[in-house]
Amino acid sequence: MNPFPRRDLFRRVGAGLGVLGMASVFEQAGLAGPLTPRKAHFTGRAKRVIHIFANGGPSHMDTFDPKPALAKYAGQPLPVHLRTERKTGTALPSPFAFKKYGRAGLEVSDVFAKVGAHADDLCVIRSMHTEVPNHEPSLMMMNCGTQQQSRPSFGSWIVYGLGSENQNLPGFISLCPGGLPIRGAQNWKSAFLPGAYQGTHIDTRETTLDKLVENVQNRLTRREDQQKQLELLAAMNREYQQTRTEDEALEARVQSFELAFRMQLEAEDVFDLSKEPQSIRDLYGDTLHGRQMLMARRLLEKGVRVVQVWHGAGQPWDTHDDVAKRVKQLGHESDQPIAALLTDLKQRGMLDDTLVIWGGEFGRTPVVELPAFGSNAGTAGRDHNSYGFSVWLAGGGVKGGTVHGATDEFGFRSEVDRVHVHDLHATLLHLLGFEHEKFTFRYAGRDFRLTDVHGQVVRPVLAST
Amino acid sequence: MRLLLLGWIAAFTASADPGVDFFETKVRPLLATKCYGCHSNKLASPMGGLRLDSPTVARSLVKPKDADASRLIQAVRYQTIGMPPGGKLKDAEISTLEQWVAMGAPVPEAVAAKTAAAKGPVDHWAWQPLRPGQGTIDAQVRAKLQENGLTAAPRADHRTLIRRLSFDLTGLPPSAADLKLSVAQAVDAYLAKPAFGERWARHWMDVARYADTGFLGRAFLVSFSYRDWLIDAFNRDVPYPRFIALQLAADQMKDAPPSDHAALGFLSLGVNPNRAVDLPDVVDDKIDLVSRGLLGLTVSCARCHDHKFDPIPTRDYYSLYGIFANTRYGVEPVRVGPLPDFYEKRAVERKRILQQYIQERLEELRAEFRDPKEIQRYLEALWDGRKLDRARLENLAREKNLNSLLLRRWARRMLDAKPGDPLLAEWRAATVNPAVAYAKRLTHPVQAPWRSLLFGPDAPPEVPVEDFPSIMTEGDANTTRNLQWQYEQMLNDAAYRGSKGIVLGAQDRPTIAPSYVFVRGNQNDLGEETGRCFPSILSPGAPCFQQGSGRLELARAITSDRNPVAARILVNRVWQKLFGEGLVRTPSDFGLRGDLPTHPELLDALADGFMRDGGSIKRLIRRLVLSETYQQSSADRADARLRDPENKLLWRMPRRRLDFEALRDSMLTVAGRLDPTLGGQPISLVSTPVDPRRTVYSVIERERPLALLKTFDVADPEQHSPQRYQTTVPQQGLFLLNSPFVGEMARSLAARARDVPQLYRLALGREATPAELKRAQPFWAARPTPTTQPDAGPWQYGTARLDPDAGKVTGFSPFRYFTGKAWQNASAGLHPVTGVARLSEAGGAPGDDLSQAVVRRWVAPASGTLEIKGKLVLSVGAFELRFRLSNGLRGWVVSNLHGVLAKWRVDLPPPPADGISYAANPSVVTDLKNVAVQRGEIIDFVVDSAGDYEADDFQWSPVLTLGAQTWDARKDFAGPRIPPLSPREQLAQVLLLTNEFAFLD
């Protein structure tokens, strides 16, 4: 009596010998799961996505969008002054030096020197813009394509559309150390899509497995005892089903225990970073951000469709104060891990079909924020900026070594080849094989889209095929 | 739309017609932004009588496939009349229109037809008067079956029926005694149980998008008073018209006691004001809730343009908008009794601080607005923009970095001034030499007529207090929001500790503002005035509402016997909960794109009976469950399945999986653990030990939903939820196999059973078969595998009374629950006695006073010399410091042998000179050296509130060194140790995991 006739198959998967979609197990049983791989509208260049979210709104003038003109106006009002969320004053030049990298001579500040070394793989979009300079709505815009309404996150959309390559792990995982970002799980919600497409949050500051993934570790029984339990369960369920044939829901629930059992092993394996050679661990660095980026790569390699890596709980890149010190620190934390990810994906041949996105929910002002109670502590910082900011893409069908669009002379407002967040989403979906205008879900009387009624694919950032 | 995992098909498909797509995504938006301004049927007299928002009209202006001969194209090319007059379209835009013409100028036929139809009555079934069919439920169902060559299933067996009824009516498994009742007796018994209300309240909470916490995780004001009201209302069988009226307008009903105001939680527990969202989104939440939840209309689709498919014009959206924008939600409680004195005083004080802050800031801002330079900025911008309408003025404010409210005030003062007002001449003169004019005229002594611009109620800088939110800075927004939360928290603390003095509510705004269409959803672009009215399709020609916001009239209109829709919707919802699927399978969309009813006459007969019966939900349920249709067997029949695979004709009762609430409550019941207490503050589902209250009492966090709830498809609390998904994912299996909850249930269940047969009776309510007995035997007979019990360690966590004079800690009482992050006495929220007292790895919070100090207790495992290193930090930021919300706290190290070894006080630092750079998180170092301890000596790390528990979160995680060994309070911190399950307990767990346990035949 063997409840798991395909256990040997699983052993191979559990041992990490490669991505073997559990879909095949389902298919043998004539079943399809919510995560069963599916085809998009056409074959996309990217198969999976990693979004490195510098949450809080990273300063583009201090990272990927050099603005030497600010130095001329240091301490003086700029000729351009757009309305800002808080009171702002005179020009604040970047305290960081920019250098040219790669064949294309892409300019990147010292904050991201190691990422800069990958310039020929990067496509920096310097003309991003969004709606308002507030975190909450802008986070929703970046993640869900709308500021206020309850809509599914792009990760949920993608997994809904493509399924996932690994049925033993969630299809969409959000790594965020130390707790939750502002607006919590709203950022990876499935909203009106089924719960199976909700992002799964993992607090990467935790180190024990069952704190990483809820209930994944069995502390109630030994593994061999649990196998005996499952054999008894299978027998009872079989008997129950004898008089209740043709009920797929019963069979699905039987299967789900089998999957859960396997998930325990799979999770144990994927989150065990000690399985990586020392050289790889050194590449990422033995820091919180190094470890979580390595974890992200392991998840991608195992077939997880979408991984989001947050810088941290709250809004770490929200540098209202002391840009010189804080941006440096934030860059210091994430530069090496991101560079390592790019190196590592490349050496594994995964960069070609993995879309890497870096950025925040908006940018920051080129002018200094004035001190005010309830807002800041009054040291040279920058306010939120929804008029202009930068993101970069790499891999997955993106044209490397390019800069797309530009902000004005000071970095206040996106001016040339403006790219709205909706356009970024349209491009993201395009790279995965979706026509964003036809990728819909009917709910409450409407066919909803990630891009709502907006969005244009940004063709110039696509690599030629 | 029951989404089983099986047969899943990705449901994204190309829209039927690319031409229509092109029109909707490219052409219509272009027409909307460039042409509707003058050519729209929303205008009283559109220019040239042209209404371009009708696609057919747009089409009539072109010659399909011949752009050059199309009037529209000629006009935009400026070949003929030159449209739009303000400036030629961009080439790309013209080419879009040309492309559309080249495609044959496709327009959505359905839309074209519907728009035309909206003018007259629409022939859609859902909006017709009831046409009840003849005969009983069974007669009507059978007639349909017969028509299709099918027959009903035989009656299910008695045990199956009782189990079905027990779950459907109470959400709990039947007791052994229940099985002895007849079906009719069981129905009466279940309808009379308080558990009935708990079950059906939870169904309604899906409709009402119930949550306990909202934006940024803050608790709503006494959220659970609404949940408890619902439970009570279902148990009292409040008639449906009143049930709805109370939830929409209890505050306006003279016969509604204050306790019934809790019903307004229906509206208030949603997207809330003062939660950093704009009013339009607050209102949209209510419109969506009421229109989909109560009327099956997807009115929210009409926020920016007329509904694409249903005859719902944008005007209808804004008629409802006027109702809900004139209501305030859950910012003031309703009194039903006294609050404890302490909280009453605190709440008043908090409110005073808030008002004082606003007043002070208002004065400061007015002074800024009177600054001559500021006035110059506004008046110069206004001079340039003096010909602009309101929407363009809004844009101007944005461009010039001006406050839009203040600019509007200036506009009103200057642009509406009577000709001949001397100010106008002055203003004109000032444009010549502004620097001199403004600086001179507006500095003291202020010259007439400028003086009237600075002071007095009409002076633009004199912004009234109610407009403070429109002029406040982002810092003010944060601060006032936090102060409002402080106020609410005082009220909530009282309620969460058991006071029944307040419920949440909603009120009309003091002055009712008129409502206008927002053109294309833009709140700065006002269209026609709408009034506050019922959707036109449901009440053609009916007058609009007059009393206040109109909520009461709205409720009356919804439940009026002239409105067939609300009763159909409600009856269908009840049917769906009992039969798995509704008679209409899109229970919140009865529009043109919703499903048609499978049994229209039956639906109408039920709705008709329900209304004639005064809207008794209990009697409706009784009617349904006493039908033979409900009492059918769920057995499969291959031939019937072939003809009607979705069982739309009800040839059997569907087999259903228990939802999460029923599953968890069942486990608690069979484990003998269920605590049947009704109502009260929310509980945690993930505490250890288990909080054995029913699942309906789980805390529901809108922004931080428990993964567990999502995993088991519990309704998303963000918006109205028509029905639950039913997915099967491995995370469900993980919870059932490995969670401490199921482990604890298995343990309790096993402990109740003498032998295997009794275990089966308890878990599954039946006798075990011989084969089952045989299979169970190895588990029952096996001896537990010996396991070494993990050392509990030297730490304990609890509260105690601290006697500072005697230097003694007495009455140490360990905390009851571990939440996963902290030890405390309530599984969630506050404990009635010890309040906020808790300990976590880094610190915690003390209770009210010295009798509720928190104690991190360490028992010396050996004698020796102890060294203690640590830092006691009061976790307060600039906000708490500025408003002196904390009075500081005290820390003590106390030995049971030697009394107080050391004590510290953490006080608030003085405010900084600049009023901004507060020194957050004041602290003291708590190092001790050379403390001689004996084995077994108790060292207590005690923190007390110094007499006032508010804002006393602290961090203190000392590190102790004794000889070569170190104990680190943070690293050693842990929840309860859970021993492994014995074989018998493993067997019990298996029974809880079976399909038999989880499904309902």
Write out pLDDT tens, residues B832-859. 999 999 999 999 999 999 999 999 999 9
Distance between A261 CA and the closest CA of chain B, angstroms: 7
B989 interfaces chain A, CB cutoff of 8 Å: yes
Mean pLDDT (chain B, rounded)? 89
- In this structure, what DSSP letter does residue B110 have? H
Question: Tokens 């009831």 belong to which residue?
Answer: B130
Q: What is each CA distance from B381 to A90, A431, B400, B459, B538, in whole angstroms?
A: 22, 46, 8, 18, 47
Q: Which residue has the higher pLDDT, B474 or B41?
A: B474
Instruction: Specify the range with the lowest mean pLDDT, choosing from A95-104, A434-443, B82-91, B531-540.
Output: B82-91
Distance between A141 CA and the closest CA of chain B, angstroms: 14
Q: Which residues does chain B have within 8 Å of residue A216's beta carbon, measured at their own beta carbons?
A: 734, 738
Q: Which residues does chain A have within 8 Å of residue B779's beta carbon, measured at their own beta carbons?
A: 228, 232
Cα B154–Cα B159–Cα B161 angle in degrees, nearest 5: 55
User: Which tens digit of pLDDT belongs to each residue from B523-560?
Assistant: 777 788 899 999 988 887 888 999 999 999 999 999 99
* Interchain pair B735, A214: CB under 8 A: yes
- The CATH number for A341's domain is 3.40.720
In a domain, A229, yes or no: no
Closest residue to A248, CB basis, from B7, B24, B708:
B7
Candidates B731, B916, B991: best to mutate against A (most CBs of A within 10 A) is: B731
B743 interfaces chain A, CB cutoff of 8 Å: yes
pLDDT at A32: 65
Q: Give the confidence band of A214 by pLDDT, cuts at 50, 70, 90.
A: confident
Distance between A263 CA and the closest CA of chain B, angstroms: 8
Nearest residue of A to residue B642 by CA position?
A246
Give the separation between CA B276 and CA B543, rounded to whole angstroms: 35
Distance between A28 CA and the closest CA of chain B, angstroms: 13
Candidates A188, A190, A215: best to mutate against B (most CBs of B within 10 A) is: A215
* Interchain pair A168, B730: CB under 8 A: yes
Q: Which residue has the higher pLDDT, B445 or B144?
A: B144
Pair type for strands A419-420 and A122-129? parallel
Share of chain B above pLDDT 90, in %: 65
Amino acid at B824: Q
Q: Which residues does chain A have within 8 Å of residue B987's beta carbon, measured at their own beta carbons?
A: 232
pLDDT at B396: 82
Q: Which residues does chain A have within 8 Å of residue B998's beta carbon, measured at their own beta carbons?
A: 253
pLDDT at B895: 96
B8 interfaces chain A, CB cutoff of 8 Å: yes
pLDDT at B7: 29
pLDDT at A25: 39
Judged against a pLDDT cut of 80, whether residue B17 lies above it is answered with no
pLDDT at B14: 34
* Interchain pair B636, A439: CB under 8 A: no
Distance between B309 CA and the closest CA of chain A, angstroms: 8
Instruction: Specify the range with the lowest mean pLDDT, choosing from A252-261, A278-287, B242-251.
Output: A252-261
Judged against a pLDDT cut of 90, whether residue A196 lies above it is answered with no
Structure tokens at A243: 């008089």
Q: Give the confidence band of B5 by pLDDT, cuts at 50, 70, 90.
A: very low
Q: Which residues does chain B have within 8 Å of residue A150's beta carbon, measured at their own beta carbons?
A: 716, 718-719
Q: Which residue has the higher pLDDT, B429 or B552?
A: B552
> What residue numbers bound the domain in which A188 lies?
42-145+176-212+309-461
Residue B624 CB-half CA count within 13 A: 30
B930-933, long-range: CB < 8 A, 24+ apart = B930/B865, B930/B867, B931/B865, B931/B866, B931/B867, B931/B868, B931/B895, B931/B901, B932/B864, B932/B865, B932/B866, B933/B860, B933/B863, B933/B864, B933/B865, B933/B866, B933/B895, B933/B962
Residues 895-924 of B with CB under 8 A from A: 914-917
B727 interfaces chain A, CB cutoff of 8 Å: yes
Q: Which residue has the higher pLDDT, B416 or B941?
A: B941
In a domain, A224, yes or no: no
In a domain, A189, yes or no: yes
* Interchain pair B710, A198: CB under 8 A: yes
Give the separation between CA B288 and CA B301, rounded to whole angstroms: 9
User: Which tens digit of pLDDT belongs to each residue from B771-795?
Assistant: 999 999 999 998 877 666 666 789 9
Share of chain A above pLDDT 70, in %: 93
Q: 3-class DSSP state for residue B362?
A: helix
Closest residue to B730, CB basis, from A32, A240, A256:
A256
In a domain, A130, yes or no: yes
Q: Which residues does chain B have within 8 Å of residue A373's beta carbon, measured at their own beta carbons?
A: 475, 479, 878, 882, 915-916
* Interchain pair A233, B474: CB under 8 A: no
* Interchain pair A248, B779: CB under 8 A: no
CB contact set of A52 (below 8 Å; sequence gap of 6+):
A293, A309, A334, A338, A341, A356, A357, A358, A359
Q: Which residue has the higher pLDDT, B228 or B16?
A: B228
User: Which tens digit of pLDDT belongs to each residue from B273-330?
Assistant: 554 457 888 899 999 999 999 999 998 888 888 888 888 899 999 999 999 999 999 8
Distance between B740 CA and the closest CA of chain A, angstroms: 8
- DSSP letters along A419-441, please? EEHHHHHHHHHHHHT--TTT-EE
As a whole number of Å, the CA-based R_g of chain A is 23
User: Which tens digit of pLDDT belongs to each residue from B238-280?
Assistant: 999 999 999 999 999 999 999 999 999 999 998 775 544 578 8
pLDDT at A381: 93
In a domain, A222, yes or no: no
Q: Which residues pair with B155 in a beta bridge?
A: B632
* Interchain pair B730, A167: CB under 8 A: yes
* Interchain pair B6, A251: CB under 8 A: yes
In a domain, A399, yes or no: yes
B779 interfaces chain A, CB cutoff of 8 Å: yes
CB contact set of B541 (below 8 Å; sequence gap of 6+):
none
B21 interfaces chain A, CB cutoff of 8 Å: yes
Cα B679–Cα B684–Cα B690 angle in degrees, nearest 5: 100
- In this structure, what DSSP letter does residue B700 have? -
Closest residue to A446, CB basis, from B10, B301, B730:
B301
Number of other CB atoms surrounding residue A36 within 10 Å: 20
In a domain, A219, yes or no: no
User: Which tens digit of pLDDT belongs to each residue from A349-391?
Assistant: 999 999 999 999 999 999 999 887 777 777 889 999 999 999 9
Q: Which residues does chain B have within 8 Å of residue A186's beta carbon, measured at their own beta carbons?
A: 703, 718
Candidates A10, A256, A315: best to mutate against B (most CBs of B within 10 A) is: A256
Amino acid at B249: A
Number of other CB atoms surrounding residue B107 within 10 Å: 21
Give the separation between CA B28 and CA B31, rounded to whole angstroms: 5
Domain-by-domain residue ranges, chain B? 18-120, 238-337+500-560, 358-475, 656-785+987-1000, 795-972
The number of distinct structural domains making up chain A is: 1
pLDDT at B77: 86
Judged against a pLDDT cut of 80, whether residue B48 lies above it is answered with no
* Interchain pair B736, A184: CB under 8 A: no
pLDDT at B445: 64
B601 interfaces chain A, CB cutoff of 8 Å: no
User: Which tens digit of pLDDT belongs to each residue from B88-112?
Assistant: 888 888 888 888 888 888 876 544 4
Give the separation between CA B397 and CA B399, rounded to whole angstroms: 6
Q: Give the confidence band of B985 by pLDDT, cuts at 50, 70, 90.
A: very high
B739 interfaces chain A, CB cutoff of 8 Å: yes
B300 interfaces chain A, CB cutoff of 8 Å: yes
Q: Which residues does chain A have within 8 Å of residue B770's beta carbon, measured at their own beta carbons?
A: none
pLDDT at B247: 98
Distance between B25 CA and the closest CA of chain A, angstroms: 6
Judged against a pLDDT cut of 50, whether residue A21 lies above it is answered with no
CB A434 within 8 A of CB A40: yes
pLDDT at B50: 73
B698 interfaces chain A, CB cutoff of 8 Å: no
Nearest residue of A to residue B724 by CA position?
A194
User: Which tens digit of pLDDT belongs to each residue from A400-438?
Assistant: 999 999 999 999 999 999 999 999 999 999 999 999 999
- Among the listed residues B202, B331, B356, B349, the one whose alpha carbon sits nearest the alpha carbon of residue B267: B331
* Interchain pair A249, B298: CB under 8 A: no
pLDDT at B232: 98
Structure tokens at B920: 């957050």
Candidates B213, B471, B472, B734: best to mutate against A (most CBs of A within 10 A) is: B734
Q: Which residues does chain B have within 8 Å of residue A222's beta carbon, measured at their own beta carbons?
A: 785, 980
Structure tokens at A44: 């996309």
Q: Which residues does chain A have within 8 Å of residue B713's beta carbon, measured at their own beta carbons?
A: 194-195
